[in-house]
Structure 1
Amino acid sequence: MPGRNVQGVITKLPLLVFTDLDGTLISHADYRWDAAKPALDTLRAIGAGIVMASSKTAPEIIALRQQLDLEDWPAIVENGAGVLAPNSHASPPTDEYLAVRSTLNQIPANLRRQYRGFGDMDVAEIAGITGLTAEAAALAAQRAFSEPGVWSGTPEERKDFLAALAQHGVMAREGGRFLTLSFGQTKADKMAEFIATYSPRHTVALGDAPNDVEMLEAAEFGIIVANPHRKPLPLLDGERHGRVVRTTLEGPEGWNKAVLELISILEVT
């Protein structure tokens, strides 16, 4: 957030970073972020802001934000369906999530049974499908806005499934592992609100999945982090104009190198 220089003059936030987590800042395979520590430390040293923008729930983000010492910054949760305020440890109400689940259960049974959401699973199954510990899986199950799940039907049935949901105002977003249902809002929507609030000199967004595309395109600089565990994103419009680039290193290693290179190019202090 803005600070003051030695003369007491208010200084503008040099850089505001919006980052996806799984497969981006956090390793897809083992959920570790250690390799990104040099860049995280440098961002703190120059007074930059770091906003997590993830499909993860508020309880998951609360724990991660504390581990990464980012509690002074807001976070975008559940793919942009909600926001976690700075230094907040309170979970949002679950009314919107319950409405998504109710809508899901109203669509034709032949389509409904092809989708298995977190609400259809117990903690042990969520842990098994995500690779999370039981404790972390329990946090992932505490939904407030959206329902992640696995589609098992054909591509044609998937189209019918999404069309049936859309009739009730429910949209689907594809992430690194799951097809996530909600009543709309994207990471980019919340990103625009935070840019208006903090008025940074520069913005950068990092991500690896389709649910990151709007955010990558909306930032001044977009960085697609390599994730060999999923199909690569198609060529983005920003890449044609040099605003969006791709890393060769994956996950936190790629995140670290790309952020340090950008800081050097921008000469932000």
Structure 2
Amino acid sequence: MTKAALIVFTDLDGTLLDHETYSHAAAGPALQRLRERGIPVILASSKTAAEVAPLRAEIGLSAYPAIIENGAGILPAHGSSARDAGDYARIRAALDMVPAELRRHFIGFGDMSDAEVARSTGLDLNRARLARQRNHSEPGEWTGNDEERAAFERHLADRGITARYGGRYLTLSLGGTKADRMDEIAALYGQPRRIALGDAPNDLEMLLASDVPVLIRNPHARPLPPMPKDQAGHILKSTRTGPAGWNEMILSLLSEAISRQTGA
């Protein structure tokens, strides 16, 4: 791939997409400016390939790879929602090996119908169907106590499966984070300077792995966990929410970069 001087990694919901409408329209001017300068924009989401591929095409970013399922996998540039479910099959097989008294406390998306996932997530039926087309990870509702969860996770760890809480769901994967995938994708473009934008605690690893971390204001998200002052002070914060805040910060950062280049 062509080397780049700058690369942008961005979360979707509450960041590039509006929390309520899921629209990216307010980020249009910044996206156009990035497009004109040939700066890669990499979507990084908990969504599946089936969910991300049409969104990426709608935004006009299909020429770039995307990070899917919270860093458990990568959707290649120009890739479709075609499934390679090997990782997912391995996770589901590992679940079958967990003792029944523990397994009953985990209700994964693979244990639910489209309608049940829609009720659990608040997605419409079509989006719930796409969310169930998983490649690399299995989110689920945990109904047991902490002690039972620890035992459940030990059984999975013996089979190479990692469990992480991401808010509502306990998500199982073969490991990997958004930050890990950032390293892989940045290498494709010659390790350019990285801007990362997110709105919630599950974006923190990605933000801290960037050169320019940007927290997009989201009154619906949990605050970031306490951090050392040097890390906290390094994070830029938008004044506006969602794609309007994304637009605000990207345009400001591009203006600063241009000023440095011209010596203005």
Q: TM-score range by the shorter chain?
A: 0.7 to 0.9
- Superposed CA deviations along residues 69-113 of structure 1, whole A, max 9, x for unmatched, are 101111111122221111122523112101111212322333322
SS of the counterpart of 2:153? helix
- Superposed CA deviations along residues 40-81 of structure 1, whole A, max 9, x for unmatched, are 222112221101111111111111111101011111111222
Mean CA deviation greater in 198-207 or 138-147:
198-207
Among candidates 216, 220, 223, match of residue 229 of structure 1? 220
Kept after mapping to 1: 8 A contact 2:27/2:247: yes
Shift of the 242–85 alpha-carbon distance from structure 1 to 2, 3 Å rule, reads same
Q: How does 1:170-181 map to 2 (within 5 A)?
A: 170-175=161-166, 177-181=168-172
SS of the counterpart of 1:127? helix
SS of the counterpart of 1:267? helix
Shift of the 44–38 alpha-carbon distance from structure 1 to 2, 3 Å rule, reads same
Among candidates 28, 32, 36, match of residue 27 of structure 2? 36
Kept after mapping to 2: 8 A contact 1:65/1:71: yes
Q: Which amino acid aligns with 1:101?
A: R
Task: Provide TM-score, normalisation by structure 2.
Answer: 0.87
Structure 1, unmatched stretches of 5+, are 3-11
Name the counterpart of 1:213: 204
Q: Distance in 1 between matches of 2:215 and 2:156?
A: 29
Name the counterpart of 1:128: 119
Q: Distance in 1 between matches of 2:229 and 2:195?
A: 12
Q: How does 1:1-269 map to 2 (within 5 A)?
A: 2=2, 13-175=4-166, 177-199=168-190, 201-237=192-228, 240=231, 242-267=233-258
Shift of the 37–172 alpha-carbon distance from structure 1 to 2, 3 Å rule, reads farther
Kept after mapping to 2: 8 A contact 1:145/1:182: yes
Shift of the 94–240 alpha-carbon distance from structure 1 to 2, 3 Å rule, reads closer
RMSD: 2.4
Q: Distance in 1 between matches of 2:30 and 2:197?
A: 13
SS of the counterpart of 2:236? strand
SS of the counterpart of 2:60? coil
Identity, % of aligned positions: 48
